[in-house]
């Protein structure tokens, strides 16, 4: 379904925004729950709990047709019965797959989200197809003008150097065949899918492997006959392709790209199109959690070209958990303390990765059921408390403090609130400056008493625990 735009709406959609300029008065209030590998019925049936936990958005796994080997969609990770990453192998840009569910089930999930005022963002990945090119649908091959026009001329050649922009944007990332995203026939086919999602009520997208889709400064595939890399101009509504244009004003959507930080990445140019992932910051935060101290780590600096209000932040992502298990060894308690610190801050839009039900630090896959709801951590009382704290602190600037041993992190928000986290395995005293007025305070979760005297916040924090204080 294509939605017509008024001239005014089209102008809004086409305006560029400089996301590298920080407005120090901006406060972000939204939070994302990454309902990783939950199917549509599981998301729908838990929407009330998601809303009550204070999450304002849910990010689904990819919803398009995907690789579907016989008997291979039962387990999160198993040699015979499936893998979570099958839905990262598109075979067609049509709604519904064997992992998340049908179009009708997605509609029911969208209805549930609307009922609880939760915005849905969908993970999309136009950069590549399934490894098995024969699994790609005949409909898509025909729509793009044939199999040779579906991929870049070196699109089957695996990337050898990810810091080489020619390889990064025109070769096969992770050996996944690289789609010719500049082909106008592909762009039209993909945008019809996007507009169908928008018509169903989707109001945002996470672009997987976004840094592997070129911007204007990147090399073009001469063999494809294009003069400029214009996929992002089309995807963000700046231009139409063969009569098809993004169906809603772009500024009404929440869109961010997986532009993992590395050398030679044109972050500033990508910032002209969408928000980006603060992957480097996540690494620094996890390092602090691992060593149980922030000493020697600058957690105040987001470390990105983009302004912090346009960054999507995380303690861990599905990639850091699943691929090399970079973050999977961290306990739920450690992840939670990191989440409270991250979410209490003034900027960034934090994403909470839902770990598998039953997962432990010796069994990362837990119950290992594809499509099932994740564990209970997304509605842990500390998570709920900081999500609601974040919304309540709209307009309040942050002030960060750390104890001398680096084990206690304090996020002050003006004179209105404060969030404390003890990231260590031992109890800690706190005696740090705060904007809270003098007096006694009791935290939102445990009722623990803290005192503010002469502008200093004092008390004792239990190991791996967070405390939320509001102005009386």
258 is catalytic: yes
Which DSSP string do the residues of 137-191 spell out, in sequence order? -HHHHHHTTSHHHHB-TTTTSBPS-TT-HHHHHHSBGGGPPBB-TT-HHHHHHHH
In angstroms, the CA 157 to CA 140 distance is 21
Q: Of the residues 92, 258, 377, 382, which is catalytic?
A: 258
In angstroms, the CA 166 to CA 416 distance is 50
For residue 460, report the phi and psi dihedrals to the nearest 5 degrees. Answer: -120, 135
431 is catalytic: no
In angstroms, the CA 245 to CA 242 distance is 9
In angstroms, the CA 164 to CA 170 distance is 10
From residue 456, how far is each of 300, 380, 472 by CA, in Å? 20, 29, 16
CB-CB contact of 428 with 318 (8 Å): no
Q: Of the residues 92, 123, 182, 208, which is catalytic?
A: 208
* Residue appearing with tokens 């695996």: 158
- How far does Cα 143 stand from its chain's mean position? 30
Q: Quote the crossing angle between the two packed helices 381-392 and 332-344, to the nearest 10°.
A: 10
Please list the residues that pair with 440 across neighbouring strands: 451
Catalytic residues: 208, 258
């Amino acid at each position: 379904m294509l939605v017509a735009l008024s001239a005014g709406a089209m102008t809004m959609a086409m305006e560029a925004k400089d996301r590298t300029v920080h407005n120090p008065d901006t406060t972000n209030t939204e939070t994302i729950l990454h309902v990783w590998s939950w199917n549509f019925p599981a998301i729908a049936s838990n929407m009330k709990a998601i809303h009550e936990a204070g999450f304002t958005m849910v990010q689904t796994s990819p919803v398009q047709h995907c690789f579907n080997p016989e008997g291979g969609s039962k387990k999160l990770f198993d040699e015979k019965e499936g893998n979570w990453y099958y839905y990262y192998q598109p075979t067609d840009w049509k709604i519904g797959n064997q992992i998340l569910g049908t179009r009708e089930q997605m509609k029911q999930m969208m209805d549930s989200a609307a009922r609880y005022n939760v915005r849905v963002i969908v993970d999309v990945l136009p950069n590549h197809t399934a490894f098995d090119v024969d699994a790609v649908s005949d409909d898509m091959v025909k729509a793009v003008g044939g199999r040779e026009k579906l991929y870049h001329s070196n699109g089957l050649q695996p990337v050898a150097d990810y810091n080489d922009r020619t390889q990064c944007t025109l070769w096969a990332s992770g050996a996944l065949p690289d789609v010719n995203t500049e082909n106008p026939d592909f762009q039209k086919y993909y945008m019809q899918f996007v507009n169908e999602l928008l018509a169903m009520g989707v109001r945002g997208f996470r672009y997987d492997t976004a840094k592997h889709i070129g911007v204007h400064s990147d090399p073009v595939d001469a063999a494809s006959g294009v003069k400029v890399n214009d996929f992002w101009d089309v995807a963000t509504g700046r231009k139409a392709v063969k009569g098809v244009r993004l169906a809603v004003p772009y500024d009404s959507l929440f869109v961010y790209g997986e532009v993992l930080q590395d050398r030679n990445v044109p972050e500033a140019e990508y910032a002209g199109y969408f928000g980006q992932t603060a992957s480097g910051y996540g690494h620094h935060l996890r390092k602090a959690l691992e060593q149980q101290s922030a000493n020697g780590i600058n957690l105040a600096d987001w470390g990105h070209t983009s302004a912090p209000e346009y960054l999507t932040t995380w303690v861990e992502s599905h990639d850091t958990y699943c691929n090399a298990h970079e973050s999977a060894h961290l306990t739920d308690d450690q992840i939670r303390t990191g989440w409270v610190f991250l979410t209490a801050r003034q900027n960034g839009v934090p994403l909470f990765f839902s770990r598998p039900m039953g997962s432990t630090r010796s069994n990362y896959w837990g119950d290992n059921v594809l499509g099932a709801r994740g564990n209970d951590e997304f509605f842990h009382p500390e998570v709920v408390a900081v999500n609601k704290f974040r919304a309540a602190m709209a307009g309040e600037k942050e002030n960060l403090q750390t104890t001398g041993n680096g084990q206690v992190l304090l996020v002050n928000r003006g004179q209105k609130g404060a969030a404390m986290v003890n990231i260590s395995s031992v109890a800690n005293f706190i005696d740090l400056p705060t904007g809270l007025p003098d007096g006694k305070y009791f935290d939102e979760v445990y009722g623990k008493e803290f005192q503010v005297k002469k502008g200093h916040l004092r008390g004792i924090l239990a190991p791996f625990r967070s405390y939320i204080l509001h102005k009386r």
